[in-house]
Amino acid sequence: MKKLIYSSLFIFIFSSSKISAQYQPKNISKDDLKKANQWVDKTYKNLSQDEKLGQLFIVALYTNRGESEIEKVRNIVANDKIGGLILMQDDAAREITLVNEFQQKSKVPLMIGMDAEWGLYQRIAAAHKFPWAMTLGAIQDKNLIEKMSAKIAEDCHRMGINWDFAPVVDVNTNPNNPIIGNRSFGSEVSNVVNSASAYANGLQNNNILAAIKHFPGHGDTSTDSHADLPLIAHNLDRLNAVELAPYKALINQGIGGVMVAHLYVPALETTKGIPASVSKNIITGLLKNKLGYKGLIITDALNMGAVANRYKPGELDAMAFKAGNDIMLFSQGVAEGKKLIQKAIESGEISQSRVEESVKKILLTKYFLGLEKYTPKNPENINSDLNNDSHKTLVQNLYSNAITLLKDEKKLLPLNGKQIYYIPLEEAPYQTFANRLGSNITIKNANEIATIPANSTVIVGFHKDNSTAYKPYKISDASKKVLSDLTKNQNVILNVFGSAYALKDIDISKVSTVLVSYENNEDSMNATADALNGKTKIQGRLPVLVNDTLKSGMGMDLIPAIVK
């Protein structure tokens, strides 16, 4: 992998105001820096105190919850002078129209964010889906990840989005993690760092802000923070070696944002039950002071049960700001939060200089993202612009490079046009894969294995539900039995169209050939069929520790004659 270059992404400190930012565009001139300084100072001076405090808040915009919800956001934008929006489900043209409206009415242009870890598809169903991070973690050429995130940046610009709340840098060491899992690049720090670096580079080199998350590390949790407060019980040595390691490696490489999680970490926060997202020890003490991070610090969504069930709207926002966050994301109580922050300023609990630091950092980032002047976006043809052949070609190449061959004892691959039988198992569709394999395939269901001649080549497909990143990966006992029965008389190729963790309790000792394709969708299945037919190279590596036998980094290259 070529060395990732961050020459355009470094810390810039204004000598006059002492305000710093982690991100700035490529090839920016001294004159542009001077203009940025002037714009930030002038804009800040022209804001009332209420408008300055408004910059600290981002609220959610849904277009699928009716006009009353949209009107609520419209009123917040107009009355509370907020700093930004996070776009949620689901209509792209409607969202563009509303963002155009809100931007025109805002004294300071809004920062528009989105959770687009696997592209805008994460929120907009009409967009093209990019692979989960776990799939990307299997890819050895990390430059492909950078190409992917550059395409995501292009889609963001088309929508008027400035900030992709990605990449996830949680090191997923817990196979049963209910909320990270597929969203992590893997269980090894080095792979997470290299993959995340490429992802962030593709965004920020194309003028879309990145945000690494979920600080201080959400990879070993058994609780979903959307529902309750997870506990990270590791000691400092473990935290430094695993959970915190990606942040130490990445925060000084120009990453524009860090998102703080709703986690209770006793080794970092002495007061029992205090979430990281409102912990001054963790945000100010560790992230800002000890690790030296100068970029935007943003909370995870404040509507999540881990904090929303413990604190009142507004009260939670004020706590988060006092702890050191610059931006309160998905605020449920902007007006009350502003009142409580102002009250804390008047009492001396918070200094006005702290407000100035955060607001000027936000303004500086907005300027660097080109938001000093807003150009309306055109909603026409947006769905086709977000989902076309350029997306499909790139995505299939990504899946092709992720496919991981764990064993091929009888050298059954490539198939080379031989007669094969195919048995699809589990709950998800499979027809795309079967069709792409070719005319020499005979599909059998699980009840027909006895009709297959002995010593045949049989592909078993574990097709798991790919509709969300959070679906269970476990394989049913019935599917395990079919696989076991087939190995007695057949030459079996097992192909997992789902998480590598699906192999955690599968006996593959008598299975000749095992591949992991990581996901079950059209692009993944087409890429896999081409690989099995010898049209493309197989070269992925396991991104996670699955069990004592299947360890992170395992995989074999298969280079068919056609691509040698």
CATH number at residue 295: 3.20.20.300
Report pLDDT for 1. 38
CATH assignment of the domain containing 469: 3.40.50.1700
Cα distances from 62 to residues 96, 125, 163, in angstroms, run 12, 14, 17
Strand-pairing partners, residue 419, are none
Range of the domain at 489: 403-533
Same domain, 328 and 440: no
- How would you classify the pairing of strands 420-425 and 457-463? parallel
Looking up tokens 């009415």 gives 105
* Distance separating alpha carbons of residues 520 and 199, to the nearest angstrom: 23
Please answer whether residues 395 and 130 qualify as being in contact, where contact means their C-beta atoms are separated by less than 8 angstroms.
yes
Q: Which helix or strand (DSSP H or E) is residue 408 part of? A: strand 404-408
Same domain, 496 and 365: no
Please answer whether residues 54 and 76 qualify as being in contact, where contact means their C-beta atoms are separated by less than 8 angstroms.
no
Residues 6+ apart with CB under 8 A from 410: 491, 512, 513
Report pLDDT for 19. 60
Report pLDDT for 561. 74
Same domain, 414 and 353: no
The vertex-23 CA angle with 22 and 26, nearest 5°, equals 140
Give the count of domains, the chain: 2
* Distance separating alpha carbons of residues 261 and 302, to the nearest angstrom: 10
Asked whether residue 475 is domain-assigned, the answer is yes
Report pLDDT for 9. 34
Q: Is the pTM of this model over 0.75?
A: yes
Asked whether residue 391 is domain-assigned, the answer is no
Asked whether residue 554 is domain-assigned, the answer is no
Q: Which two tokens stand for residue 455?
A: 């010593």
Same domain, 409 and 323: no
Same domain, 332 and 454: no
Positive or negative torsion for Cα 488, 544, 127, 396:
negative
Same domain, 341 and 486: no
Burial (CB < 10 A; 0-12, 13-18, 19+), residue 147, is: middle
Same domain, 411 and 285: no
Q: Which residues of the chain have pLDDT under 70?
A: 1-20, 562-564
* Distance separating alpha carbons of residues 47 and 55, to the nearest angstrom: 10
Asked whether residue 166 is domain-assigned, the answer is yes
Cα distances from 513 to residues 124, 258, 430, 532, 550, in angstroms, run 37, 42, 19, 11, 14
Report pLDDT for 3. 35
Report pLDDT for 239. 98
Burial (CB < 10 A; 0-12, 13-18, 19+), residue 535, is: middle
Q: What's the one-letter identity of residue 203?
A: L
In the sheet where 257-260 sits, what is the strand order? 211-215, 257-260, 296-299
